[in-house]
Amino acid sequence: MVLESGFRTRADVWSDDFAHPDAPRLMVLPAVAAFTRVCAYDRPGTATVLNDGLHPSRSDPVPMPRTAREASLDLHALVQAAGERGPYVLVGHSFGGLIVRLYASLRPRLVVGLVLVDALAEGVKTRLTPEQWTVYDNLNMQTPPELLSYRGLEIMAFDATLAQVRHAAAVTPLRPMPLVVLSKGLPFDFPPDLSLEFSNAAESAWTGAQNDLARLLPGARQVTATQSGHYIQQDQPELVVEAVRQVVEAVRTRQTSRSPDGSYAPPTPPSYRR
């Protein structure tokens, strides 16, 4: 399986406990490695900012801006170069959710399971007014002060990416596979200068888009991480691990229980701990 990080976020978000550095918990990558092979990587332009400063991506820089399609092509080149033949279970956080969905649509025979971790979805844009979406898009494009010195910082074309995902969903919809959608339970920490009207609209749009994701495939399961903000893998890593475990187990069951026509009825997963 492959872990795909969110916008501008390095792969160590899956393995390092930034919230409890003195008494770290078992985080997603090492926990998942106990029951399946797992890979993570830095997209070009991603970063981690710690007390000792900026830790830029360990991948070579590329021209910006980019789209999810370009990122999905990079992902395919990566797994091919690494000799990882697949098939793959893909886990995508935030913008990474768009990347793994697009990859699954473009290479359907290589993807057998998905976990979407508070993933961005096209329904956010459609639920906002054009003016609200412009504010949302501009908010994402702002460069935090701690990243101003990073010349290769990731810049993603959100509108073009959402159009790519919508097109792929219409032309090559996802094949039936186990899917778990993890959604945040706590509100975004928007800048205080934004209006309450915008904050409420953005929260409502995000919640609606999460519900859309849970309807992508039959048998999909949605879980609200009631104690988590946007970074569920940091706030409640055990929920992500459990979601991955259940998808992996469902995939393994699927591989031994296909009907002659190749169809698949996903088993009912056990309850989640929240």
Domains of the chain: 2-256 (3.40.50.1820)
Beta bridge partners of 111: 88
Distance CA 256, CA 52 (A): 49
Within 10 angstroms of residue 43's Cβ, the number of other Cβ atoms is: 27
Q: What DSSP state is assigned to residue 11?
A: G
Write down the pLDDT at residue 9: 98
Average pLDDT over residues 207-235: 98
- What does DSSP assign to residue 172? S
Q: What is the per-residue pLDDT for 256?
A: 72
Q: Is the pTM of this model over 0.75?
A: yes
Whole-angstrom CA distances from 35 to 3, 4, 30, 86, 183 are 15, 19, 10, 16, 24
The residues, any chain, with a CB within 8 Å of residue 215's CB and separated by 6 or more, are: none
Q: 185: helix, coil or strand?
A: coil
Percent of the chain residues past pLDDT 70, beyond the cut: 93
The tens digit of pLDDT for each residue in 2-46 reads 999 999 999 999 999 998 989 999 999 999 999 999 999 999 999
Report the chain's mean pLDDT, rounded to a whole number.
93
- What pLDDT, on a 0 to 100 scale, did the predictor assign at position 258? 56
Q: What distance separates the 2 farthest-apart alpha carbons in the chain?
A: 59
Structure tokens at 145: 């002060």
**Whole-number Å distance between alpha carbons of 112 and 168:** 17
**pLDDT single digits (tens) 57-95:** 999 999 999 999 999 999 999 999 999 988 999 999 999
pLDDT band at 255 (very low <50, low <70, confident <90, very high): confident
Among residues 32, 210, 200, 43, which one has the least CA distance to residue 118? Answer: 210
**DSSP letter assigned to residue 92:** E
CA–CA separation, 104 vs 236, rounded Å? 26
| pLDDT tens digits along 184-211 | 999 999 999 999 999 999 999 999 999 9
DSSP string, 53-66: EEEE-SSPP--S-B
Please report which helix (H) or strand (E) contains residue 80, including its range.
Answer: helix 68-81
Q: Which residues contact 35 (CB under 8 A, 6 or more apart)?
A: 245, 248
